[in-house]
Structure 1
Amino acid sequence: MTTLPLPAPVTRNVAAAAYAPRRPAGPIDLDLAGTEGPGSPAIAMLPENAARRSISRYPDVAPLRNALAARHGVDPWQVLLTAGADEALERLFRAYLEPTREVILTDPTFEMLPRYAEASGATLVRVPWTSSQFPLDALLGAITPRTSVIAVVTPNNPTGAVATSADITAIHDAAPNAVVVVDLAYVEYADCDPTAALLALPRAVIVRTFSKAWGLAGARVGYAVGAAGVIAAAVTAGNPYPVSTPSLSLARNSLETGEEAMRDRTRQVRERRSGILASLAAARLPAIPTQANFACVSPADPRWLWDALAGFGIGTRLIEAPTPSHVRITVPEDDPGCDRFADALQCITDPECVVFDMDGVIADVSRSYRAAIIGAAAEFGVTVVPADIRAMKEAGNANDDWVVTATLIAGQRGGVAFDDVKSAFERLYHGTDAVAGLHVEEALLVDPGLLRRLAARRTLAIATGRPRGDAEAFLERFGIRDCFAACVTCDDGPGKPDPFAATEALRRVGARRAWMIGDTPDDIRCARRAGLLPLGVLAPGDRGSPMSAALLSAGAARVLSSLDDLEILLP
């Protein structure tokens, strides 16, 4: 291969010199040249005197740099240690990009790379890479004489797809004016490591990290390896001493003693990765073939998948630039985590049942139960307004309206027996021979046609805090009892947020996977504790209130604008 001159760094860095204070050639045992200051008292907590002394001085990168140089068969000056791989990438962009130059990135890619490119003022050229096949021809076609940096992440973040060493070599040879930056942050999880082949390319720089497979993300240790001239340019583009002494020590110890454990962990990740890919495929969400410690899918509604998994307490990464298009799922650290993900995914994509709370979801109780709370309190000389009731519902543990009424009364007046409060509430709600009860003011919040369409697709059930008589009367009055295969009430067992109502509803209909819709945090917590997908909806009077935030804070996957949204979301 013909050796070509190295690309020139940007003008503003040409005259810069790396930070390297002149030091005497002979031994020094009283170093007064630096300005570090005495060690912090916190250093005394370290167990070894040597460690205490070293942390009070500026870091010495030589031991780790030399170890990495030996590992990769290069000169120590071809290695730059940085605060994570991110800093290595940023330095290289800063060293070789300016407004008159161009940088080529694949799309999608590690999200910081476009930021670094934009900060440099260079023209950003994106080449789509949305499948397992690396877009070599498209990338080669994007190269111009102004191309100064080409950055490829392999395995790619967020997709896990890989570029081969042959791909990188072709790019390198086609771009004589460019530094080819290859981010190998996830290479330990891949089928092969192209490092040795890439280091034979004079204008290629590999970037690696101790954050992923080595398990030292908090230590923030990364490094770049490449031609001495390219590394020297990157050195001048950043601060001295980017990595702390404890972090350097951790990384070096990991290299010396932790490689076998690292290899074992990556083997386990690859095994569990196969299970995650199988779960995604079974859910009709095939992922791009991945060689990283994550999988990436591009569903029709990425935000919904991200929301729904969060409803099960599973955090994933929504790739939002330029618009939400992918969801990245990191391989769980253990088998129970994999099983939990698989179960959640199956529930999201193939629920057997939909469980409804009643009040505020299908029944408007603003002029019945809520009015009964206000009226009963008034009989004991206590003024209650709707906002007081809403505040209790938002706070949680307020599923029982008799208890809510008694609590609101007790807040202003003591000495009132619970049975007396309950009696007043029931009289107002059910009425007397002379006065109609407030229950006649209730209205249906959902179109019966929608319920029947949903019932034709999935089994429907009710889980309510109402007494059975009140619940059945409402369903019969509005002619929707036949839509629901089961109705669990407060007469059957513990109230929400206890999971009983949800689990009992599933038991009665013989289902394992279900969604649950409620209008209070108690409903959401009940659903989550029972393993159902929790969805919120705002009751009449709650729009514009903090209730939406309270539902999300309790763990709702999403707060629906109306039950019509359910028909759209339901698979």
Structure 2
Amino acid sequence: MKRQGLVVFDIDGVLRDVGQSYRRAIADTVEQFTDNQYRPTLSDMDELKSEGVWNNDWEASQELVYRYWVSQGRERESVGLDYQALVAFFQSRYQGTDTENFNGYITTEPLLVTVEYLQGLTDEGILWGFFSGATRAEAKYALEYRLGLSNLALVAMEDAPGKPDPTGLFQVIEKLDPDPALPVFYVGDTVADMKTVEGARAEQPERLWVAIGILPPHVQETSERSQSYSERLQSAGAQKVFKHVENLTVAEIQALIEG
């Protein structure tokens, strides 16, 4: 079958709902390291991530802690934040107390995609893979343990620089099919994801790059938040924004390829 293109998915907020897992772990961590003085809301986290450089949730947690203490009149240098202690605390909430058999917030995440959807892409000659800022173990938990996928074309935190650096996206493409004639869709839920496509386009302008935005479930509680978040993704380069990843149908993909 003739190959039509490549679709690379982010995982968090796209394939699994992390509003009460990663985001909850951020809130717990910031609260812990601000001496229970400040617990960021989901809107606070979205505002930070809209800056496009806080894709790593450990670093996002650290930044929110710093910004709180600065707002209280302290200098960053005087905070004395132990980054490794912060990461360990975060992981104790997200992965849980058993790093071999997760028992933390990760175990409660609703899935946002079905194997049938992915198989439907395959049936139409559309190859797919994953580029995520999650650790490899956390990504594989969703993809292998929860969805039952195998032979993954996956690039995770340990494998490449963080987004919006497009290196990881290029690595997934190499695993799938490096043919520059094949268009590439990157499907994500953050400004950093959209900027990753911009970076890839700048480095490889000969290929068709398409940035697809997905509204994570937590922003869909009101039409106002959905609209605002959608506009933010579009401003960052999203060519289309969907409420659900499976709205990116084969027909939508073909229409975007044809222009």
TM-score range (shorter-chain normalised) is: 0.7 to 0.9
Task: Give the direction of change, closer, same or farther, for the CA distance of 1:538–1:452 in structure 2 (3 Å limit).
Answer: same
Do the aligned partners of 1:461 and 1:505 also contact (CA within 8 Å) in 2? Answer: yes
State how 1:505-524 maps to structure 2 within 5 Å.
505-511=172-178, 512=180, 513-524=183-194
Counterpart amino acid of residue 464 in structure 1 = S
Q: What percentage of residue pairs aligned between the two structures are identical?
A: 30
Residue 563 of structure 1: CA displacement?
Answer: 2.1
Alignment of 1:165-176 (within 5 A): none
C-alpha distance in 2 between matches for 1:471 and 1:556: 24
Structure 1 residue 456: Cα displacement: 2.3
CA shift for structure 1 position 440: 0.8
Corresponding position of 1:539: 216
Q: Which whole-Å CA distance do the structure 2 matches of 1:362 and 1:395 have between them? A: 22
1:256-311 superposed Cα distances (whole Å, 9 cap, x missing partner):
xxxxxxxxxxxxxxxxxxxxxxxxxxxxxxxxxxxxxxxxxxxxxxxxxxxxxxxx
Separation of aligned partners in 2, 1:351 and 1:518: 20
Measure how far apart 1:351 and its partner are.
Answer: 4.3
Q: What amino acid does structure 2 have at the position aligned with 1:420?
A: A
Residues in 2 aligned to 1:383 and 1:370: alpha-carbon distance in whole angstroms: 11
TM-score, scaled relative to structure 1: 0.37
Tell me the equivalent position of 1:424: 89
- CA contact 1:351–1:514 (8 Å) conserved in 2: no
Contact 1:463 1:501 in 2 (8 A): yes
Counterpart of 2:97 in structure 1: which amino acid?
Answer: T
Secondary structure of the 1:462 match is: strand
What is the deviation of 1:489? 0.7
Q: 1:480: how far off?
A: 4.1
Q: Where do residues 170-189 of structure 1 align in structure 2 (5 Å cutoff)?
A: none
Q: CA deviation at 1:387?
A: 1.1
Q: Is 1:560 the counterpart of 2:242 in the alignment?
A: yes
What residue is the counterpart of 1:316 in the other structure? Answer: none
Counterpart check, 1:472 vs 2:140: yes
Q: Does 1:393 align with 2:44?
A: no
Opposite residue 404 of structure 1, the aligned amino acid is A
1:48 aligned residue: none
Larger radius of gyration: 1
Task: Tell me the amino acid that sits aligned with residue 436 of structure 1.
Answer: N
**3-state SS in 1 of match to 2:185:** strand
Shift of 1:361: 0.5
| Runs of at least 5 residues in structure 2 that lack an aligned partner in the other structure | 70-78, 202-208, 255-259
Matches of 1:494 and 1:520 in 2, distance apart?
16
Counterparts of 1:8-27 in structure 2, within 5 Å, are: none
1:412 matches 2:76? no
Which position in structure 2 is the counterpart of 1:365?
18
Is contact 1:536–1:556 with CA below 8 Å preserved after alignment? yes
Q: Could you list the runs of 4 or more consecutive aligned residues of structure 1 that deviate by over 3 angstroms after TM superposition?
A: none
When normalised by structure 2's length, the TM-score is 0.80
Report the equivalent of 1:322.
none
8 A contact 1:351–1:515 mirrored in 2: no
Q: Which amino acid aligns with 1:466?
A: A
1:436 to 103, 106, 109: 103
CA root-mean-square deviation: 1.7
- The CA distance in 2 between the partners of 1:359 and 1:424, in whole Å, is 20
| Structure with bigger RCO (C-alpha 8 Å, 6+ apart) | 2
Q: Provide the rounded CA distance (Å) in 1 between the counterparts of 2:44 and 2:149.
A: 32
Residue 163 (structure 2) aligns with: 496
Distance apart, 1:487 and its partner CA: 0.4
Query: What residue in structure 2 maps to residue 49 of structure 1?
Result: none
Provide the residue aligned with 1:528 in structure 2.
198
Q: How many residues align?
A: 220
Match of 2:230 among 531, 544, 548: 548
CA distance in 2: counterparts of 1:554 and 1:465, whole angstroms: 18
Unaligned 5+ residue runs, structure 1? 1-349
Q: Distance in 1 between matches of 2:194 and 2:86?
A: 28
